Amino acid sequence: MDIRPIAGALGAEILGPDLSRPLDADDVATIRRALLDHLVIFFRDQDLTPDQYLRFAGYFAEPIEYPFVKSIPGHPKIIPVIKLEHERVNFGGIWHSDTSYLEIPPMGSMLLALEVPPRGGDTMFANMYLAYERLSDGMRRLLDGLTAANSSAKADTTRTREDRMRADGTTEVKNYEAEHPVVRRHPETGRKALYVNVAHTLRFAGMTEAESAPLLEFLFRHQSRPEFTCQFAWRPGSIAFWDNRAAQHNPINDYHGHRRVMHRITLAGDRPC
């Protein structure tokens, strides 16, 4: 395999493997190491059936169901991520760590591009190791002792999710809430990462939203600084696989009037600590 970093902060493209075929143990270990080193990895020109896609995901963790979007027919562990030509708001179009409102958030997620707009529709990723490490010593000491409350019901996030649920014919909306450390230690690398996000984090535990807001707003701005990020341009057959424990992502909503269709797999994780 040829592993090519795409930015200084994070992200690498992996050239060579045909993911429609079974991988041997050495290939899986190489890909896992690349994920841990670069936090998000990309593959091009992959023509996968849903079963082949699930097989590839299963090398790294158990695929799990996503709580809010109807899956594709016959495959409950794969959901469509779609923006149609007439829609103005994209799904998940805000900086976030996937489903941090769950007691056990996913270790990672994968997106496979099926249809992409003629221009735009890139996704940005940000390195939460760097976001933590570039804070002052005093700020790191303060954050190391804090816990944050996360919710699936923050207004900026629910708009696109509820639109998609209405399109799916889903009427019941359940709210999920969980408290997690503001700084989590990665279970495989041992490094500390900032673990709050503007999409789901409401407040610090034991504080009101008003009391929490000034520090959280600073952290939200800080963690998406350009020098912590990379940007990926999609083509049909592209795959992105990111480590949800140390990276955030934000799909750019700059392709109104065009269609974008992705298939997503979410991978089981561990309780942040």
> What is the maximal distance between C-alpha atoms in the chain?
53
Look up 249 and say whether it is catalytic. yes
Catalytic residue among 164, 184, 260, 264: 264
Dihedral sign computed on CA atoms, order 233, 91, 100, 140: positive
Residue found under tokens 């997106």: 111
Catalytic residue among 38, 96, 184, 203: 96
Look up 264 and say whether it is catalytic. yes
Catalytic residue among 98, 164, 200, 260: 98
- Count the alpha carbons within 13 Å of 79 in the hemisphere toward its beta carbon: 20
Look up 51 and say whether it is catalytic. no
Look up 98 and say whether it is catalytic. yes
Catalytic residue among 186, 249, 260, 263: 249
Q: Name, in order, each residue with C-beta under 8 angstroms of 231's C-beta and a sequence gap of 6 or more.
A: 7, 122, 123, 124, 125, 252
Q: Phi and psi of 197, rounded to 5°?
A: -155, 150
Q: What is the CA radius of gyration of the chain?
A: 18
Residues carrying an active site annotation: 96, 98, 249, 264
